[in-house]
Structure 1
């Protein structure tokens, strides 16, 4: 019957067209044609770029999320970043050296997952499961963002004109990079940072594609330029390493503008359009995004918390519940005033004394800085008997304290005078540091060691009198010792807990730098100042003042992280993977951040290879022979690597292998570019074979270090065999 239908002519008669058999055959043919089209579409999709991106994404999720629930306890810097999530939920202000975006995202996910902020993440090894912490959800969020860098790396390679094989190889190298896997699976800032770094790179290459051949100013051109600026701001809002990403984009932007300026076919008006569009999107927009993150940060932390002590009294007073809130205090300082003297240089607190003696030096009563309000902070300003007398110049016959006056400070509770002498202080043992103590000399009339000279060094511009006479809050002054030629000084070093109670040391320092010898009076009491005396208090800072202050303190604290760590490393060790970081160990299992050696060493080889090829290219061009290699994408990738690597040589702070991860990302992209250069003359089949061989090496290395990547069991023999270099110091005994 079916054959009979097919035997019909192509132009059947009217009677045939009405035949049910004919209609059935027509429907059958349409169905077959639709199936063939569907099959063709499916095959086409399977081989298409969206399908490749989907495969890479799904496989990356598997690699990153495999057994993400282990270990079920706090690991490495989860102590800090999980703890910050807890502080956000509890709305208590804290201080951290990193900008807030990544921490706020972690806190948001934790809150949505049901975390109540009760768990404090205080130390490595604390159990999550007993405390019902939704750590799996938070880790999953970080892992997903880390996994998304892999399809973005592939798309970046494709958008810069590289082959599919090269893009796949780059994606697989990042997918199977053990160090990135370890970092991505934990509650850390690095996966969020790397996500925005790779997003910035991808949006930038998309913009460059639209900007080719000077065809700007359409909607897509503006979209990708604005998206680049947005991602730059988000990257810098995660960690200050994002500033290196901004430099990576900034350098080619400057070069592009220079090229446009040199093109005489482009009018000056059009050049200004290029300049202002880039300035708005790549400078103004990132700054606005960065500042907006701090707006949210301050709004999220309205209450007093552990970070108060880092901040100025003005900042502290803007926090609800802070014990720094004070009532108005009399502005004028006179002899007989009871005062609180505060150190400005370190924000360490108030000049303080208590009935405990030094165990070294003079053995006299201790002088320290104390960060809290306390009755032992009160001092009485007295005039030495041998000091020059003036006529009373204040109400009730009092005499104001003026610039250049010789004064004595008497501790209100113990009646002992602040003094300095030739004894060495407990901690600052340099010869130019002198001990400062509180003591009552029997012959107080001739006790020149208790005399201090007031030097007003700064004042409130709206209060001219504070330049010439000492005034609360408005005057900044030094106290110079009358005989030792030193100035009252304090630094961040703290006395031992057992006898100095961990309070900050105060000395008298000769030839001291100005900042750490600056003091001011915060509170003032005098019974004869009268009721109509002028009062003063701290000004409440606006957002910009708080923003600038916090960023300055973040910079200072970051710069001060110079203490050694058992697993710190310097930049010269990173490209060669000389050592890793021990993250966690328990019950015979270990998590140790160690990169995939196949990825690290091959990407470093690519960097060296590019430098050699670029050098040869310059030599060839100089002789006019030929252009050996002038790939703009490779130049961009090497710029990104340099911008994210070499600045660490300028830092004296504590550094670790994970600081190299953004630079590693660009080095792997560069490897893909160099791979295309080397294999440019090969057929697609041979190129595919090379990719398969390279991928096998990467996966083989990855599988060797699975136990320390995921915290899996490992035999001691296998562990020892996996130490490919002597510098890898993961523990094979426990």
Structure 2
């Protein structure tokens, strides 16, 4: 599945009889085949490639930077990534589910233009001009990377020795794609992601071309650059892991070939194979991981002040941040203090009121008809709980400590919190939480009202504090953890949150904190705090904590979204995403690819799969319809591009999180490479009878060029096939240009469209604005 730049067979296809006694000069054989190809290509081709590359690069910059000042308002997810750049510049700690590299690049651009981060991108539609934000500089970063991505696509095809029409078609599909243009003109991460993914493919191809010069300086250079590109990919978004799968699959195939004892040039010893394996492990795993850690080190080094991301981290982590208000306001909790308890994840308060659970729930299950215990989003007196000792010993004024058993008295109703073996309203497997009278709590229900304070990452005898002590409340007899969730209860509970006992104690969703201690007056000496010193924490410990939080919150992005879409919709471009609208001018930015380009790419992906299937069936039946060079190119080079598409597409079917059309952009880039490859296959293939076989060249036999009329026929065929390739290139780009131009008003956000113009662009029922 590796891209074969010379279009030749793998070395294993060289017959063993073709080896010279002193070893087959494989490089010389490859050079001979390349010379044959160069004679067919004709003189001056290098300059043709250079001129085409320059023109395409210029067009890429024009298409990405044209009208980049419009709109001068916050657009779609710029509310997130622009805000994060501002937080970096203010050194204020924030939390995001994506790794830091892409956001660091935006912060770098802001720093270069002297921006101080005063604007926090709160709402879509907020004016950049009124708030004096250098938004063009921010947008210039993804526009630059988006333009360079087109250049990299051209270089991938060029380095793989494809014809000029094939290079232009592949790069043109990305150049003229409305989705790639739209996503790279805004303050979003996908330009960085797609650019890094494309660079990883290019660097690996250049590394693979040096496979006959192992451990040379250039070999090491491109191996390490491949690893660096992969690191940048996953350091932008975690879906960058798919590029590791692509390159990793090609590396596994390559290593498998190196294990073959019959390989031309002699078998590798196990020691030599071990060197190859170790080099790839260092270059493609260890070095990328170190770069990945490096970006997090930069992240932690910049964000030194307390900020909106504090709540996602443990108190120990927060103590490493300056100006942490939460820790400054924490006080020790004593027995008989009145406290309010808040769920860390949903922010709901532990609450109770006089109402009872109904006798029967909707599914027919019976409740205890005890007093309701619920989660309430607002703070009131029904959230007040008094901390009582497990026994009646004198504990007035003594601090509550980790792992101690307590009772919680609901002050307004003068009842004691209890959990027992009765199913909760929504979860038959979870225990109901209710309250009982004081008499029952210290009488027949004495054990059921005992709860353990278990501080997260706490030590034995650690003091229990408000705000800073994140804890789980564990019911002592049954060992269930107090838990809540966001699904509201029915009207009988005033649509408040359910509180129940979770048998799975480990999940972080069981964590609570004491929000306040109302029984301690504001002027109490207990609230007087000494100035806190910022503490330190080992980098790897901070990194592990942040990784856990990022993965957990990423997995929770499962709620519905009006513009979310499913993977099966992406290749056919069935729907897009509304980014921005302006009613007065009827302008809108609707994230949508070039339908014609996407349909061509998706169709040819299916064609490629069909060609491979047909070739395999033919070979089984003894029919060899393809010459060796064409088959090698089809399986190795085009196969590598198809692998890149598959590994960047199919894994999304396994994900349960929100998915959008922009997740398909890396796969679409790979599909453009497949299209360019098939243009070469269909229109520029050479008949096997007129091409010297690889084995003849490898053994140094005299090439059977024959009389001049044979060369003329070959040149005539080459000219005809090249002309056909150019015609195919022109036709494909013509229809793609038409689609690109037709949808430009939705990509650039101007001009505004009339109702009729909007309706004419609803090709597949796209949910466009101003259609009536």
Do Structure 1 and Structure 2 share a fold, with TM-score over 0.5? yes
628-637 vs 147-156, which deviates more? 628-637
Match of 2:297 in 1: 295
**Residues 455, 120 of structure 1: alpha-carbon distance in 2 compared, 3 angstrom cutoff:** closer
Alignment of 1:576-725 (within 5 A): 576-586=572-582, 587-626=585-624, 628=626, 629-631=631-633, 632-681=636-685, 682-712=720-750, 713-725=752-764
Conservation of the 8 A alpha-carbon contact between 1:329 and 1:523:
no
Conservation of the 8 A alpha-carbon contact between 2:353 and 2:413:
no
Distance 1:81 1:358 in 2: 45
Match of 2:165 in 1: 165
Distance 2:175 2:673 in 1: 13
TM-score by length of 1: 0.78
Match of 1:417 in 2: 416
Distance 1:603 1:646 in 2: 16
* Deviation (angstroms), 1:337: 7.9
* Deviation (angstroms), 1:514: 4.6
> What secondary structure sits across from 1:130 in the alignment?
coil
> What secondary structure sits across from 2:87 in the alignment?
helix
Alignment of 1:119-130 (within 5 A): 119-130=119-130
Q: Which has the higher contact order (CA 8 A, sep 6+)?
A: 2
Q: 2:389 aligns with which of 382, 385, 405?
A: 382
Match of 2:697 in 1: none
Tell me the alpha carbon deviations over residues 290-343 of structure 1, each in whole angstroms, 9 at most, x when there is no partner. 11000001111111111111112221222112234379999xx99x58698989
**Residues 410, 47 of structure 1: alpha-carbon distance in 2 compared, 3 angstrom cutoff:** same
Query: 5+ unaligned residues in a row in structure 1: which ranges?
Result: 1-42, 386-391, 526-536
Conservation of the 8 A alpha-carbon contact between 1:248 and 1:643:
yes
Conservation of the 8 A alpha-carbon contact between 1:407 and 1:451:
no
2:404 corresponds to 1:408: no
> What secondary structure sits across from 1:606 in the alignment?
helix
Q: 2:475 aligns with which of 475, 480, 483?
A: 480
Conservation of the 8 A alpha-carbon contact between 1:567 and 1:580:
yes
**Residues 267, 166 of structure 1: alpha-carbon distance in 2 compared, 3 angstrom cutoff:** same
* Deviation (angstroms), 1:165: 0.9
**Residues 652, 459 of structure 1: alpha-carbon distance in 2 compared, 3 angstrom cutoff:** closer
> What secondary structure sits across from 1:545 in the alignment?
helix
Conservation of the 8 A alpha-carbon contact between 2:344 and 2:511:
no
Distance 2:509 2:114 in 1: 48
Tell me the alpha carbon deviations over residues 134-171 of structure 1, each in whole angstroms, 9 at most, x when there is no partner. 11121122111101111110110011121111001111
**Residues 135, 438 of structure 1: alpha-carbon distance in 2 compared, 3 angstrom cutoff:** farther
Q: 2:501 aligns with which of 505, 509, 515?
A: 509
**Residues 579, 284 of structure 1: alpha-carbon distance in 2 compared, 3 angstrom cutoff:** same
Tell me the alpha carbon deviations over residues 167-199 of structure 1, each in whole angstroms, 9 at most, x when there is no partner. 011111111001111111111001111111111
* Deviation (angstroms), 1:268: 2.1
Alignment of 1:320-399 (within 5 A): 320-325=322-327, 336=335, 347-348=344-345, 368=375, 379-383=386-390
Root-mean-square deviation (CA), in Å? 4.3
Q: 1:448 aligns with which of 432, 442, 445?
A: 445
Match of 1:304 in 2: 306
Match of 2:228 in 1: 230
> What secondary structure sits across from 1:719 in the alignment?
helix
Distance 1:173 1:520 in 2: 52
TM-score by length of 2: 0.75
Distance 1:475 1:168 in 2: 58
Query: 5+ unaligned residues in a row in structure 2: which ranges?
Result: 1-42, 359-368, 518-532, 686-719
Distance 1:399 1:147 in 2: 62
Match of 2:541 in 1: 545
Conservation of the 8 A alpha-carbon contact between 1:382 and 1:410:
no
Conservation of the 8 A alpha-carbon contact between 1:203 and 1:225:
yes
Tell me the alpha carbon deviations over residues 426-483 of structure 1, each in whole angstroms, 9 at most, x when there is no partner. xx6345556646676466543728833457999989x7xx5xx99869998763376x
Tell me the alpha carbon deviations over residues 108-147 of structure 1, each in whole angstroms, 9 at most, x when there is no partner. 1123223221222111111111111111121122111101
Tell me the alpha carbon deviations over residues 375-415 of structure 1, each in whole angstroms, 9 at most, x when there is no partner. 98875342357xxxxxx9x999x999998x97523468997
Distance 2:605 2:642 in 1: 7
Conservation of the 8 A alpha-carbon contact between 2:440 and 2:446:
no
> What secondary structure sits across from 2:327 in the alignment?
coil
* Deviation (angstroms), 1:680: 2.1
Match of 1:39 in 2: none
Match of 1:528 in 2: none
Distance 1:272 1:151 in 2: 36
Conservation of the 8 A alpha-carbon contact between 1:150 and 1:174:
yes
Distance 2:647 2:384 in 1: 49
Tell me the alpha carbon deviations over residues 58-113 of structure 1, each in whole angstroms, 9 at most, x when there is no partner. 11111111111111111111111111111111211111111000011012112322
Tell me the alpha carbon deviations over residues 263-298 of structure 1, each in whole angstroms, 9 at most, x when there is no partner. 462222221221111111100111011110000011
Q: 1:565 aligns with which of 538, 558, 561?
A: 561
Distance 1:91 1:501 in 2: 42
636-645 vs 128-137, which deviates more? 128-137
Distance 1:728 1:185 in 2: 21
2:237 corresponds to 1:244: no
> What secondary structure sits across from 1:123 in the alignment?
coil
620-629 vs 657-666, which deviates more? 620-629
Distance 1:290 1:371 in 2: 41
Match of 1:192 in 2: 192
Conservation of the 8 A alpha-carbon contact between 1:406 and 1:451:
no
Match of 1:269 in 2: 271
* Deviation (angstroms), 1:356: 7.3
Q: How many residues align?
A: 653
Conservation of the 8 A alpha-carbon contact between 1:573 and 1:579:
yes
560-569 vs 311-320, which deviates more? 311-320
